[in-house]
Each structure stands twice: as C-alpha cells, then as structure tokens.
Amino acid sequence: MDRKGIVVDYLHKCNAYAKASIDRKKAREALEDISQWESYIAFNEHAIEELGNGKLDSWFTPAPNQSMANARRLDADELEHPLRAGWLSGLLSPRPLILASTQNEHGLLNLAPYTSVMAVSTGPPLLIASFSCNRDGTYRDTLHNLRSTKRAFLHLMPADLATVKAIDETAAPLPSDESEWNMAAFTHHEDEPLLINEAVAALEVEFLEDRPLPDAVARLAVMRVKALWTTNGSIPAEGLDVLCQHGHDRLTPAPAQWGEKVKKHYNR
C-alpha cells in the first residue's frame, strides 16, 4: 500500500473541497471566511510538496526492504505464451493506452488500442510500435492503413470507465470493411475526421517504415510526429490524467500520487 500516496490524494481532495467552498462563498458574496480557506489550501500544498520531496518520510513506518536474495529465475523461452505475456505486461508497466485512428486508401476509418507505443527520439521526434498478426498471418488493419496512407492519430484517452468500455469495443475483431467507429461512441473533430473529440490529447504521426523483429511475427513500425493536438496552454510537466495499462489487460488511471523530479541527466 502506498501510504504517502493515500495521504497526498486525501490532501488534494481537501483542497478541491476548499476551493469549491471559496467559489460558493464568492457567489453569495460571503467573503469573511475566505482568507481562512486560502490559508488551509496553502498549508496543504506545503504538506504535499514535503511529502513529494521526502522531508516527511519519517512520519511513515518504513516498508520492508525489497531483496532479490531469494528470487527465482523463470526461463522466458520455457513459459507458455499467455503466461509469458502476462509476466511481461505485469512487470513492464504502467504504459499509456494509445487509441490509434487510421484510414485505408478507400477512406474507411479504423480505431485500435495499443500499449506498445514508445518515444525513442525527440530530435527528430520518432515513435515506435509493434504490430502483431492473427493466427492466419494477417496483420492488423492499422498496419495496413499506415503502409497505405502513411498517416495516423495516436490518442491519449481520459481515465474513466465509460472510455474503457468504448475502447474495449474497438479491440473486437471486425472484418476489414467495417469500422470500429461504429462500435464506440466517439465523435469526429469537425475539420479532422481522424481526430477523436473525446481524447485528452493526440499525436499526429507520419508512417516511415516497418521492420521485422528477430524470431517474431510482430513487426516494428517507425513513425515521425508531425503535430501535437492539445488543449493545454503549457507543457504538462507532471503528465496527464490518462488511461494506462497497469498489469495484464488491466486499464487504470495514470499514477499521479507523488513524484520527485530528476535533473542530473541535464548535465550531460
């Protein structure tokens, strides 16, 4: 249990309540207690900062030290595929859930969820993603569309259960002449049909190439970021509240309970 995270989450909720109370008092023009609420918020913000930077670590009972002394070794090649996939998904997480929007050469739109998208370069801005095939060797429509039209929108989606249910619908296998847009309740941007209005943000990418992976049926695609679609006025330095895969086939909000910024890599 993340004891510090629970306290930070509680303090954030207290401040949200306090800010709502201030708004109600201002609406009623009852201004006499507002300064007390503002002091309360400032105190909580200071506590949240000290919880994040470790100054209050002594308030919490130290967790048992993690040790690999008695760890067991699982040979990856000896694990059955579902078991191996489950272990890898559980260990290498969380990862952002990306809902890819593409269209084929005939204009048919496609949606598909992925958790393999990863940024590998910022100059130039390059992403990679792996695309698997089904048992008869047919690759996902997304890869075919990327090869055909060279274009996709990669969406970061809001962290709520309604979105999870809609995304689950887009993952259902459909014939290539049917669109997953008909299965989900998402709407198109007025000027850009590939852009999902309900997304938190999106990356507009250009497909560059795909390559075989050693001893695998999946192929690795390389995409260049052409544009960022966002409603944020500034860089989201603490990340966005978006859906992630955390564990095996389990979607959750992005972890955002506490954090400490690392800076030494800037000294390269």
69 assigned to some structural domain: no
| Residue at 264 is within a domain | no
In a domain, 193, yes or no: yes
Question: Do 127 and 28 sit in the same domain of this protein?
Answer: no
Q: Is the pLDDT of residue 64 over 70?
A: no
Whether 214 and 108 map to the same domain: the answer is: yes
143 and 240 in one domain?
yes
**Residue 202: inside a domain:** yes
Domain encompassing residue 46: 3-59
Q: Are residues 138 and 22 in the same domain?
A: no
Same domain as 51, residue 146: no
Are residue 16 and residue 135 in the same domain, yes or no? no
**One-letter identity of residue 166:** A
This model's pTM is above 0.75 = no
Query: What is the tally of structural domains in the chain?
Result: 2
Residue 251 resides in a domain: yes
Q: Is residue 263 part of a domain?
A: no
pLDDT digits (tens, 9 = 90+) for 5-43: 888 899 999 999 999 999 998 888 888 888 899 999 999
Give Cα 45 to chain centroid, integer Å: 26
Specify whether 39 is located in the same domain as 106.
no
The SS3 assignment for 179 reads coil
Domain-embedded: residue 265: no
Residues 15 and 131 in one domain: no
3-state SS string for 96-121: ECEEEEEECCCCCEEEEEECCCEEEE
Work out the average pLDDT over 83-98.
82
The answer to whether the bond into 94 is cis (omega within 30° of 0) is yes
Tell me the pLDDT tens digit for each residue of 118-142.
Answer: 999 988 899 999 998 877 778 889 9
For residues 20 and 130, state if they share a domain: no
Indicate whether 23 belongs to any domain. Answer: yes
Q: What is the CATH number of the domain that holds 215?
A: 2.30.110.10
Residues 197 and 133 placed together within one structural domain of the fold: yes
Contact 115, 98 (CB under 8 A): yes
pLDDT at 179 (0 to 100): 82
Whether residue 40 is found in the same domain as residue 169: no
Range list of β-strands (E), 115-250: 118-122, 125-131, 151-156, 201-212, 219-230, 243-245
Tens digits of residue pLDDT in 190-221: 999 999 999 999 999 999 999 999 988 899 99
**Residue 131 CB partners (closer than 8 Å, separation 6+):** 139, 140, 142, 143, 210, 218, 219, 221
Query: Over 80: is that where the pLDDT of 268 sits?
Result: no
User: What tokens does 8 get?
Assistant: 């930070």
If asked whether residues 27 and 120 sit together in one domain, one would say: no
Over 70: is that where the pLDDT of 82 sits? yes
